[in-house]
Structure 1
Amino acid sequence: MIEYSSFVLDNGLKVFVHEDRTTSMAALNILYDVGSKDEVVTKTGFAHLFEHLMFGGSKHIPSYDEALQKAGGENNAFTSPDITNYYITIPANNIETAFWLESDRMMALSFDPKVLEVQRSVVIEEFKQRYLNQPYGDVWLKLRPLAYKEHSYKWATIGKEISHIEEATMDDVRDFFYSYYLPNNAYMVVAGNVTLEQVKKLSEKWFAPIPSGTRRKRNIPAEPKQTAARFEQTEAKVPLDALYKTYHMGGKLSADFYSTDLVSDILGRGKSSRLYDKLVQEKKMFSSLNAYIMSSVDPGLLVIDGKLSKGVQLKDADDAISELIEKFTQEQFSEKELNKVKNQAESTLLFGEVEVLNRAMNLAYAAMLGDPEIVNREAANIQKVTTADISRVAKTVLQPENCSTLYYKSI
């Protein structure tokens, strides 16, 4: 249970406070309700580029990292299709430094052309190193547009292509900032050895003066129901052939989200899972094989991926997965097997909340979804899933016509 208090500043910034006297540290987490899904198809990668630009200095603080390190703090950030998240961990007695740093770049980010050029180069290099020049790195550059035809999940967070980052202008950057990096589009969680009154005082001092703005209206096309299987094959210099299969599923707030998550766990979580037991250990067709969900806010994907054993043909491996899944959808599931994956999922959830920073992140995400109490209902939602739910969801989601398959062939 994550206990919290909350308040909203006049400019719309939503603030949550989670007090924990057992630690000497504090975390300040700011989640902006913007991700790569908010981009347009001709200008992708901006949310991720902006994550980098936010560390390039602000009006009063030319070196963000240097100022934070002097106070004993650490920071980082990440971008997803749904959100951009920035966080600081710092000794609690220096928490005001975090307020100062985050408020200054929310109010007065540096639009220095030199910073844009530096960060543009960093992102382009990341694109090349992580996505183009790394074995299997371009998988999601191919899988997303195969699985999605309308929704803006069809491009990766890094962007659809390098040229969009190469051609980004300062006007593009300013427009993105003033459309999304607004106090009324942000959720701030302060967690650790702090008090509600302390956070209220510091929030009023550092964030209240920042004016609210008009957030760009979100107009993302819904993904049509997939009615026919899709297939693509690619080749690259990789160690082993690989196979990827995606199935459309509901979003984070859908009624069957947790049931689908547990279906993926039964199929491919760990060495006792169905796929691993049958196709890795018994038949030795794969050297590794997993199933998982993307946990998207909007309707997402259940994914199966694996690296093939030497000498196994991709078509044979694909047929073996399809055969296992067909049997899986016809089964009556046991309470014992379901309880095993429920307990695994709940233990992962609880273990993840040991760190105060993770609690702060989880609370911010739940608040962005529309109800901070979601963070405290997850364990119960996992335990509510029944064997009947598993059977129904398996039959609904794991249909051949709902599947997109990518063969990644080694050359």
Structure 2
Amino acid sequence: MIDYQNFVLDNGLKVYVHQDITLPTATVNLLYDVGSRDEDEAKTGFAHLFEHLMFGGSINIPSFDEPLQLVGGENNAFTSPDITNYYVSLPSDNLETAFWLESDRMLSLSFDPQVLEVQRKVVIEEYKQQYLNQPYGDAYMKLKALVYKVHPYRWATIGKDIQHIENASMEDVKSFFHKFYIPNNAILVVSGNVVFDDVRRLAEKWFGPIPSGNKYKRNLPQEPLQKEARVEHVEADVPLDAIYKAYHIPDRLSQHYYTADLLSDVLGRGKSSRLHQELVNKRRLFSNINAYISGSIDPGTLNIHGKVSKDVSLEEAESGIQEVLLSVMEGPMDEEELQKVKNQAEASIVFSEMELLNRSMNLAYAALLGNPDLVNLESDFIQKVTAKHIQQMAKTHLMQENSSTVYYHAKQ
């Protein structure tokens, strides 16, 4: 159970406070409601670029890391298609340092041309290392472009084309910052050995003077219903053939979201899952295979991917996957299997929330979804899913016409 109190500053910044006096530490988590789905199709990769630029210093503080390290703190950030999240962990006695640093870069980020050039090079190198020069690195970029035809989930967080970052101007960067990095487009969660009144005072002191901006109104194109299977074949210098599949599933706030999540667990979570047991252990068609959902706010995907065993054809491997999917659609699931995946899901929640930072991030994300209480309701949602729900989800969403598949061929 994550207890919290909350308030909203006059400039629109939403603040949540979660107290845990058993720890000598605190976390300050700042979530901005912007991800790669909010980018211009001709200027992609900007949300991820800003994850880097925000550590490049402000007008007042040349280095974000140095003053934080001096008080025993550490920080990091991540970008997804839906959000950009920054977090600081530090001794609770030094909490104000985090407020000073985070508010300063929100108010007065340094638009130093040299910083832009440095981070531009970092992102370009990351793109090359992770997507171009790594075996199978571009598989999900190709799969996303196959799955989505109009929704901006069709490009990767790092960008649709690296030339967009290469050509990013200072004017482009400033425009993106002033549109999204404003207090009324952010959620601040402060957790740990903190006092609510102290957090309110610090928030008003450091964030209160920052002016609000024009609230971004999201109006994204909705992905049309897919009516036929989509396939792409890729040949590359990789050790084994591989299969990457995706099926459209409901959005994060759908009542069926947790059914889709548990369905993916039944199929491919761990070595006791159906795909692994049947296709890796028993039939040796794959060297490894798993399944999971994208977890995105807008309608996402249930993904299956696996490396095909040597001397096994892609056709035989694909047939094996279809047989396992059919077993979920047609055969009844016993209570033991259902309870196993529910226990796994609940255990993940419990173990995750042992970490203060995870509690902060989970609370911020639930608040973004419109109901912070969701952070405490996941177990209830999981327990309400029945074997019949999972079977029905499989029948309605794991159909061939709802599938997109990238067949990755190893060069002979």
Task: Give the TM-score normalised by the residue count of structure 1.
Answer: 0.99
* 2:230 aligned with 1:230: yes
- Name the residue aligned to 2:341: 341
Distance in 2 of aligned mates of 1:149 and 1:32: 26
Distance in 2 of aligned mates of 1:98 and 1:328: 49
* 2:70 aligned with 1:70: yes
Distance in 1 of aligned mates of 2:243 and 2:39: 29
- Name the residue aligned to 1:174: 174
- Name the residue aligned to 1:101: 101
Instruction: State the Cα distance separating 1:409 from its structure 2 match.
Output: 1.0
Give SS of 1:303's match. strand
Instruction: State the Cα distance separating 1:239 from its structure 2 match.
Output: 1.5
Instruction: State the Cα distance separating 1:382 from its structure 2 match.
Output: 0.5
Task: Give the TM-score normalised by the residue count of structure 2.
Answer: 0.99
Distance in 2 of aligned mates of 1:47 and 1:215: 17
- Name the residue aligned to 2:311: 311
Distance in 2 of aligned mates of 1:191 and 1:328: 42
- Name the residue aligned to 2:147: 147
> Could you report, residue by residue, the CA deviation over 1:142-179 in whole angstroms, capped at 9, with x for unpaired residues?
01000100100000000001100000000100110011
Task: Note the residue ranges of structure 2 that are not aligned, 5 or more in a row.
Answer: none
- Name the residue aligned to 1:202: 202
Following superposition, which runs of at least 4 residues in structure 1 exceed 6 angstroms of deviation? none
The residue type equivalent to 1:364 in the other structure is: A
> Could you report, residue by residue, the CA deviation over 1:252-291 in whole angstroms, capped at 9, with x for unpaired residues?
1011000010011011111111111110000001000101
The residue type equivalent to 2:167 in the other structure is: E
- Name the residue aligned to 1:400: 400
The percent of aligned pairs where both chains have the same amino acid is 62
Instruction: State the Cα distance separating 1:323 from its structure 2 match.
Output: 2.0
- Name the residue aligned to 1:187: 187
Instruction: State the Cα distance separating 1:327 from its structure 2 match.
Output: 2.7
Distance in 1 of aligned mates of 2:277 and 2:397: 22
Distance in 2 of aligned mates of 1:166 and 1:217: 28
- Name the residue aligned to 2:92: 92
Instruction: State the Cα distance separating 1:216 from its structure 2 match.
Output: 3.1
Give SS of 2:372's match. coil
Distance in 1 of aligned mates of 2:306 and 2:347: 25
> Could you report, residue by residue, the CA deviation over 1:235-262 in whole angstroms, capped at 9, with x for unpaired residues?
1111211111100001110110000100
- Name the residue aligned to 1:390: 390
The residue type equivalent to 1:107 in the other structure is: L
- Name the residue aligned to 2:355: 355
- The answer as to whether partners of 2:185 and 2:216 remain within 8 angstroms in 1 is no
Distance in 2 of aligned mates of 1:235 and 1:349: 39
Worse overlay, 331-340 or 265-274: 331-340
The residue type equivalent to 1:166 in the other structure is: E
**Alignment map for 1:240-389 (pairs within 5 Å):** 240-389=240-389
- Name the residue aligned to 2:15: 15
Root-mean-square deviation over aligned CA pairs: 0.7
Task: Note the residue ranges of structure 1 that are not aligned, 5 or more in a row.
Answer: none
Instruction: State the Cα distance separating 1:330 from its structure 2 match.
Output: 1.1
Distance in 2 of aligned mates of 1:139 and 1:245: 10
Distance in 2 of aligned mates of 1:225 and 1:111: 42
- Report the number of matched residues: 411
* 2:111 aligned with 1:111: yes
